[in-house]
Structure 1
Amino acid sequence: MTVDDRRVGLAALLPYLRAHRGTLAVVGALSLAGAAASLGQPLLTREALDRVGAHRPAAGLIGVLITLVVLGAALGGLRDYLLQRTAEGLVLGTRRRLAGHLLRLPIAEYDRRRTGDLLSRVGADTTLLRAVVTSGLFETVTGAIMVAAAATAMLLLDPVLFGVTLAGVAVGVGFALTVARRVRGMARRAQERIGEMTSAVERALSAARTIRAARAEDRETAAVGASAEAAYAAGLRVARVQAWVGPVSTISIQGAFLLVLAVGGARVAGGAISVGDLVAFVMYLFFLVLPLGQAVHAYTQLQTGLGALQRIEEMLAVPLEGAADRPAGDGPVPAGPAALEFDRVSFGYPGGTPVLHEVSFTVPAGSRTALVGPSGAGKSTLLALVERFYEVSAGSLRLDGVDVRELPRDALRARLGYVEQEAPVLAGTLRANLLITAPTATEAQLLAALDEVNLGHLATRSEQGLDVQVGEGGVLLSGGERQRLAIARALLAGPPVLLLDEPTSNLDARNEAALRRAIDAVAQRRTLLIVAHRLATVVDADQIVVLDSGRVVAVGTHDELTAGNDLYRELAAHQLLVG
């Protein structure tokens, strides 16, 4: 049974609260002390009234009563601060844990989930955990303590009035608890709708230029609006159910209060109890119904928070990438170029049709191998398999004779430099983007890496130097600059194997020539596997692997393939511009 189809209970909260158990113990002690100070007030009030009625001094009791009121308020304020601080700490810890988990999920999870929904789990869902601690868990517990203590005192003061109170309050509490149990599932569905709305907004904002150019603002606004309306409707259903709690609780509480006054007045008139007893009982009634109302509300909040916790636990239950990997060794990464060998490799994306069919070829150490073929032939997929973003379905892929599945992913990726086809650039500075692969690199090394791909001007065209901003997704750079920055980033790590996915696709002739010179320089000390987009990239390759529909149809040099392979000859005639 997965977290998706089971309800998460209070026990699931314990790991989250364990780190804060010291503070929570102090909060519990403060709650008990505050409750004791509050519960002592009705008894002191009764005694003061009885003394005044008997014309005896009561100034001392009144002073003690005032002290208890002030002390109870101070203890309550300190408790609330510590509780809020604990709740913020819990949210912080949960966000760190969840973000770290999301960043280590298998790539296939990103393929099947929407980014906006994942963002919603880190943002909106974790925020609801604050209410679980503040107005949920502890108000439920402290409210229960107050109710139990007040009920005991009321029973001792007058069992008859206590029975009247119990009958009136039981109706409202029973209804409220029934409603609260319904809230959790509805709240979880409301959070899911919020996740879908966040996904719709993220989708629209990430393609803002495309949408603007297509004059599709109104359509996308309508799509986001539809998601927002669904979230609104789901939230309204929760609010509609919760709205019944207040009126029914108020009616039951006010009814109980009026009954107590009526029956209590009659019992005072009949001499069964004193005026002091009745006043003390009414004060305890407030200590009963107010915490009871808070506890019912807190229980409802707790159910809402547990619905959000279920969504958080659902993600934390997804196994991490490499969870079954062997532990990485302590030895250094082997130096020098490495050989790659594809041995009858087959692969299909989860839930999709097979992409590769018994692909076999070898990339000798220190060589340059180019992959060419029509769009959809499986070229980029081969690079993803080398990186172990996905596991091969059949066959084996070996690095220096060792099956990559036998290598821990960290150890494997330490030997690989990978430049994606889209060449993503992270929002932030030029320096931060370069340091992703080499966090200890010096400024001189960063500048040298930029010069190697003809990007030295980026660090000199602004007074900020390497600290110049590149914009969201590198929007302040040209397409070619983004691609070369990604390549510089890979080169900076100095890996023995470089995987380049169409490295020159966005470059003009001048920058393509500069990049080819850089590739020529690094090829002397590295193994290169390049998905080729242009003919100029492949003509100097040691070997070219021609793929078609997920199969290897030819392997050879440019001259050999031009003379002996029709598909390659056709691709070369069109300058390999096949995507």
Structure 2
Amino acid sequence: MSSSFESAHSSPSSPAAGPAEEPTLRSIGRLFPYLWEFRGRVLVALALLIGAKLASVAVPLVLKEIIDALDKPRPELVLPLAFILGYGVLRFASTTFADLRDVIFAKVTQRAMRRISMAVFKHLHALSLRFHLERQTGGITRDIERGSKAMSSLVGYLLFRITPTVLEILLVAGILFVKLDWVFGVLTLVTLAAYIGFTVTITEWRTQFVRRANTLDSQAYGRAIDSLLNYETVKYFGNEKYEAQRYDSSLIEWEDMALKSQRSLGYLNAAQAGVIAIGVTLMVLRAADGVVEGTLTLGDLVMVNAFLLQMFQPLSFLGVMYRQIKESITDVERMFTLLHRPREVEDAPDARELDVVAGEVTFDHVSFAYNADRPILHDVSFTIPAGKTVAAVGSSGAGKSTLARLLFRFYDTGSGSIRIDGQDIRHVTQDSLRAAIGVVPQDTVLFNDSIYYNIAYGRPDASRDEVIEAARAAHILHFIEGLPQGWDSIVGERGLKLSGGEKQRVAIARTLLKNPAILILDEATSALDTKTEKAIQAELLEIAKSRTSLIIAHRLSTVVEADEILVMEAGRIVERGRHPELLALNGMYAHMWALQQQAEEGGGK
């Protein structure tokens, strides 16, 4: 097989681990379509929010009337009692409206989280093989996890914390300006402006530490996951300490950024506390002076104090909310960066379904390069007639596996075209193309689930009898039935509980279950012992007779029955023909055959 490192192109850094875009309000705008699906609930929740704040602002006003009514030589009981009852109703309303708002809006947030998570998940599957060869799994999963949670936080803080707090402050400032004098209104707004100014300035400065800490967190998490996925390789080379050092180097830098973030948080809290203390003190002094001079009543003083307590309590969390919003925007932006990453291979706007009539495959003057400075294929042309088998052989790196990847349209050709029954595969939908092609790869990766699930994955709607028949055809049924848990046996992460040969037979079984019109065997029996290989080769050749087949092979003994053999070297077809014809040429194929025969004879001694 052409080494998978034919694809080790482009940047070595993980897309997920790179720096996120500068967080902007654009992220909030991107959330709007997901929230507006339940516009009725959104509007009701906003109405309840406004109702809760109006009731909350009315509480100090009623409290003032109660105090003033009682602050008389002979107070009447009826009037204060009415205000006291009103006070209780308003308190209840402000709390109840807020709770109802959360209940009504919960479905909006949860559905939006679900839809965005699904959109990112589907988009990641739609991205090219190039992206997935470069990505760092741990970093991406971390970004998606943080992004989903951040979306919920962002909506909650903006709609139900910031908006009502600002609304309440403006209402309070207006009431104080109208009912008392302009100084109270000005003091309220100045205190608010100073508080917001300090909060925004210091938070903007410290956001760089937060963002960098998140990036390093994703990198460290990605390294840890990558190391654990390659557990056996780490053990083979005794590199446990090396892996721990790499992981710790990421954590050391993350620790430094986290400490800077924590210190800057302390500065911000001190600045916020100072602004609130100064503003509250000035307003209480002004109110007390008014009571002494007789321009304000005792009820006015109580009202001002109640407003300040009521207003600055949520305001004291404004810094935390602003920081959370900034961090949430950063996380949401990283998630949307993934969502809006362009697809390398796209369906054409007028793409139609592939119509497989016979299954003839044609490569017409195909050239291709993973990177512009490293061409892989050079003007490759050949045809696989319907129902025939063509094999591609050659040394590692000759471009054999690239043929399979281009036919499956993991990449588009640089020049030339690939056609199936005369239809250019760039002009048909990827779903219909891939539904017509079955692939048995050399490096088989299985899901951490049961053997039954992994074979049935070839066609999830297949009946149990069809799954069993596919396992029988792949010569793995006896092995499965001999396991203690039988079909329910879990194969482990990436199938690590099975041997290479067992994994390969599972891969063959699920491809047979798919029942494709075109078959690609990419070193499909390379991991099997000689006896099993011969048995499966006979079965595969029988299956290939009714399908158009492309066999990628290094071991020439597996392709001697092919209708045509393509000998590749440095991305070009240097010889072609049937096995006897190529041996008669006494060229590159004959030389490879002789070497392999000698190796097999030597191994048998």
Normalised by the length of structure 2, the TM-score is 0.89
| Deviating 4+ runs (over 6 angstroms) | none
The answer (yes or no) to whether the contact 2:353–2:428 under 8 Å persists in 1 is no
Confirm whether residue 132 of structure 1 aligns to residue 150 of structure 2: no
- Report the residue type matching 1:56 in the other structure: E
Confirm whether residue 88 of structure 1 aligns to residue 106 of structure 2: no
Confirm whether residue 420 of structure 1 aligns to residue 420 of structure 2: no
Of 225, 229, 239, which residue of structure 2 is paired with 1:206? 229
Structure 1 stretch displaced more, 506-515 or 315-324: 315-324
| Counterpart in the other structure of 1:152 | 174
Structure 1 stretch displaced more, 240-249 or 148-157: 240-249
Q: Distance in 2 between matches of 1:483 and 1:274?
A: 88
Give SS of 1:71's match. helix
| Counterpart in the other structure of 1:512 | 533
| Counterpart in the other structure of 1:497 | 518
Confirm whether residue 433 of structure 1 aligns to residue 433 of structure 2: no
Confirm whether residue 37 of structure 1 aligns to residue 60 of structure 2: no
* Structure 1 residue 562 displacement after superposition: 2.1
Confirm whether residue 264 of structure 1 aligns to residue 284 of structure 2: no
* Structure 1 residue 550 displacement after superposition: 0.8
Q: 1:202-226, CA deviations, whole angstroms, 9 ceiling, x for partnerless residues? A: 2101101111232211211221222
| Counterpart in the other structure of 1:376 | 397
| Counterpart in the other structure of 2:76 | 56
* Structure 1 residue 351 displacement after superposition: 5.3
Decide whether aligned partners of structure 1 residues 165 and 122 sit closer, same or farther in structure 2, where only a CA change above 3 A counts: closer
* Structure 1 residue 50 displacement after superposition: 1.0
Decide whether aligned partners of structure 1 residues 481 and 344 sit closer, same or farther in structure 2, where only a CA change above 3 A counts: same
In the TM superposition, what are the counterparts of 1:308-457 in structure 2 within 5 Å?
308-320=331-343, 322-326=345-349, 329=352, 333-334=355-356, 336=358, 338-350=359-371, 352-457=373-478
Give SS of 2:316's match. helix
Q: Distance in 2 between matches of 1:566 and 1:131?
A: 68
Give SS of 1:396's match. strand
* Structure 1 residue 459 displacement after superposition: 3.5
* Structure 1 residue 133 displacement after superposition: 1.3
Give SS of 1:425's match. coil
Decide whether aligned partners of structure 1 residues 356 and 229 sit closer, same or farther in structure 2, where only a CA change above 3 A counts: same
The answer (yes or no) to whether the contact 2:347–2:428 under 8 Å persists in 1 is no
Decide whether aligned partners of structure 1 residues 458 and 127 sit closer, same or farther in structure 2, where only a CA change above 3 A counts: farther
Report how many aligned residue pairs link the two structures: 575
Of 181, 196, 215, which residue of structure 2 is paired with 1:173? 196
* Structure 1 residue 499 displacement after superposition: 0.4
Percent identity over paired residues? 30
* Structure 1 residue 233 displacement after superposition: 3.6
The answer (yes or no) to whether the contact 1:341–1:398 under 8 Å persists in 2 is yes
| Counterpart in the other structure of 2:14 | none
Q: Distance in 2 between matches of 1:353 and 1:532?
A: 23
Decide whether aligned partners of structure 1 residues 565 and 126 sit closer, same or farther in structure 2, where only a CA change above 3 A counts: farther
Q: Distance in 1 between matches of 2:107 and 2:263?
A: 31
Give SS of 1:251's match. helix
| Counterpart in the other structure of 2:583 | 562
Decide whether aligned partners of structure 1 residues 415 and 452 sit closer, same or farther in structure 2, where only a CA change above 3 A counts: same
Q: CA RMSD in A?
A: 2.5
Of 17, 31, 42, which residue of structure 1 is paired with 2:35? 17
* Structure 1 residue 347 displacement after superposition: 0.6
* Structure 1 residue 356 displacement after superposition: 0.8
Decide whether aligned partners of structure 1 residues 120 and 219 sit closer, same or farther in structure 2, where only a CA change above 3 A counts: same
Q: Distance in 2 between matches of 1:152 and 1:8?
A: 29
Confirm whether residue 111 of structure 1 aligns to residue 129 of structure 2: no
* Structure 1 residue 185 displacement after superposition: 5.5
| Counterpart in the other structure of 2:8 | none
Q: 1:261-301, CA deviations, whole angstroms, 9 ceiling, x for partnerless residues? A: 22322221111111110110111122332233334432332
Q: Distance in 1 between matches of 2:373 and 2:491?
A: 36
Q: Distance in 1 between matches of 2:186 and 2:540?
A: 88
| Counterpart in the other structure of 1:286 | 309
| Counterpart in the other structure of 2:3 | none
Normalised by the length of structure 1, the TM-score is 0.93
The answer (yes or no) to whether the contact 1:83–1:134 under 8 Å persists in 2 is no
Decide whether aligned partners of structure 1 residues 484 and 328 sit closer, same or farther in structure 2, where only a CA change above 3 A counts: farther
Decide whether aligned partners of structure 1 residues 343 and 113 sit closer, same or farther in structure 2, where only a CA change above 3 A counts: same
Q: Distance in 2 between matches of 1:68 and 1:428?
A: 57
- Report the residue type matching 1:26 in the other structure: V
Q: Distance in 1 between matches of 2:47 and 2:307?
A: 21
Give SS of 2:283's match. helix
Give SS of 1:574's match. helix
Q: Distance in 2 between matches of 1:360 and 1:164?
A: 81
Q: Distance in 2 between matches of 1:5 and 1:35?
A: 34
- Report the residue type matching 2:91 in the other structure: V
Q: Distance in 2 between matches of 1:297 and 1:80?
A: 20
The answer (yes or no) to whether the contact 2:389–2:545 under 8 Å persists in 1 is no
- Report the residue type matching 1:301 in the other structure: Q
Q: 1:278-329, CA deviations, whole angstroms, 9 ceiling, x for partnerless residues? A: 1101111223322333344323322222112221221222234653425564
Decide whether aligned partners of structure 1 residues 22 and 413 sit closer, same or farther in structure 2, where only a CA change above 3 A counts: same
